[in-house]
Amino acid sequence: MIYSCGGGEANSQNTTQSTYDIVTFLDGETMNRETFLNDCVKSFKEQDKTSGFKNNGRDFCNCILEELAANFSLSEFGIEAISVTKQTNNNAEAVALLLNNKKAEKVVYECMQRPELFNNEHMKISSEEELRVIISECKNNHKNGMTSAEYNELIEYVYIDSYCECYMKRLFATFTIQQLNNMINDSKITDEAQRIQESCMIENARDN
């Protein structure tokens, strides 16, 4: 991965590049913007996630990079980049791993709260592979939002894969991408999402 400090991709402040071409981190060090954006967009494409974003996700990736630069020094960013490099030689895959890092969660969340970065349309599941990824994310979100005892109780009560498929498909059919991203700020959306969740739990209960 090529986002670590030093080397050809990191620049001193005396760069001849235009202001847009570089991003400045907390420590004043700068990095080429284009390389990260290209790999970030490629990562979303490989995960079949570009349809939800305007400009194929490029604006969203740029938001993430700006937030990373506002919250980390280039050396801190480089350390995280190096750690995921040990897991893969694929730059796009490395970006995906980096954005799933605990330290990056706040950054991604901040950009998720910007509706202008998303298409105002319904999310479409375009392949079985994408559906598997969505189900996996649903399970991880439930697991991370519950205690171990609560999650174990859930999977004893419902067929978790079938429940997640039901829940996510109905969310996507009911709400636009912008509405889903604004769910936390809209009680009507939250209440309807809870109704959908409860319905899918009942329909996919193990004792049915």
- Of these ranges, 90-99, 109-118, 136-145, 152-161, the one predicted with the greatest mean pLDDT is 152-161
The residue ranges of DSSP E strands in 58-194, in sequence order, are none
Residue where a domain stops, chosen among 70, 93, 117 = 117
93 shares a domain with 179: no
Reported as a single tens digit per residue, the pLDDT across 68-127 is 899 888 888 776 665 555 566 666 666 666 776 677 778 887 888 787 888 778 888 878
**78: in domain:** yes
Mean pLDDT of the chain: 81
89 shares a domain with 14: yes
Reported as a single tens digit per residue, the pLDDT across 20-30 is 688 899 899 98
Domain that holds residue 69: 10-117
pLDDT for 191 equals 95
Whole-structure pTM over 0.75, yes or no? no
From first CA to last CA, the distance across the chain in angstroms is 49
Band the pLDDT of 54: cuts 50, 70, 90: confident
What angle, 0 to 180 degrees and rounded to 10, lies between the N-to-C axes of helices 58-71 and 33-46?
130
Provide the token pair at 78: 């480089």
User: Could you say which DSSP state residue 175 is in?
Assistant: S
Residue where a domain stops, chosen among 117, 141, 174 = 117
With 0-12 CB in 10 A as exposed, 13-18 as middle and 19+ as buried, what is 123? Answer: buried
Residue where a domain stops, chosen among 55, 86, 117 = 117
Provide the 3-class DSSP secondary structure of residue 81.
helix
How many other β-carbons are positioned within 10 Å of the β-carbon of residue 201? 15
CA 12/CA 25 separation, integer angstroms:
11
**1: in domain:** no
157 shares a domain with 132: yes
